[in-house]
Amino acid sequence: MPGLIGKKVGMTQIFTEDGRAVGCTVLEVGPCPVVQVKSRETDGYDAVQLGFGRRKAVRVRKAEAGHASRAGLDYVPEVLAEFAPDEGAAYEPGQELTLELFEVGQKVKITGPTKGRGFQGTVKRWNFGGSGASHGSKKILRKPGSIGPGTDPSRVIKGRKMSGQMGNTTRTAMNRQIEKIDLERNLLLVRGSVPGARHTVVVIRTA
């Protein structure tokens, strides 16, 4: 099974048969049409290109429209992603893959961009403790302190934890268990958290 593309809806909780509350992330997954099937002979590697969502017609370029029409689609997917195909499995352009590929209790890994936090200091970005608030300290409570050695080598070492851009990086949540599948509404409930804010596009693969 190659995997599917989805969108993070939010979080909720469900109750197990023994009455325990389980925090879950709700994902809207698929249906994902097969836009292109790549092979070693023509592209140098094997892959299945899937699409998700629909792009507005006014935002579609001719090349994108032609790429989608070759798969028999009358619309252009908003997102494209490639997956490694299963051995022996056959996929055809225009074929739709749905949540029927997954089953309750299965473990999956979910990849997506984390929330962007903007420019942050060392206390929030790296969990620095900060300076003492007594003995004459003033306006240095959240400053990073010394960042470089002295005369030798007289420079800041690469990789030093400092202030800077925080978040907005690609992360993968591993071994998320599927708790519930709603085929009618294309909803997938997985136990635990998933990277990103609401409406973030994520990629779901088998763990």
DSSP assignment string, the chain: ---EEEEEEEEEEEE-TTS-EEEEEEEEE--EEEEEEE-TTTTSS-EEEEEES---GGG--HHHHHHHHTTT-SS--SEEEEEPPPTT----TT-EE-GGG--TT-EEEEEEEPPEEEEE-HHHHH------SSTT--S-TT-----S-STTT-SPPTT---SEEEE--EEEEEEEEEEEEETTTTEEEEES--SS-TT-EEEEEE-
Q: Do domains 31-97 and 117-166 have the same CATH topology?
A: no
Q: pTM for this structure? A: 0.85
The parts of the chain modelled with pLDDT lower than 70 are 1
Domain ranges for the chain:
1-30+99-115+168-207, 31-97, 117-166
Interval 25-80: pLDDT, tens: 999 998 999 999 999 999 999 999 999 999 999 999 999 999 999 999 999 999 99
Q: What number does CATH give the domain 117-166?
A: 4.10.960.10
Does domain 1-30+99-115+168-207 match CATH 2.40.30.10?
Answer: yes
Q: Give the domain 31-97 fold.
A: Double Stranded RNA Binding Domain (3.30.160)
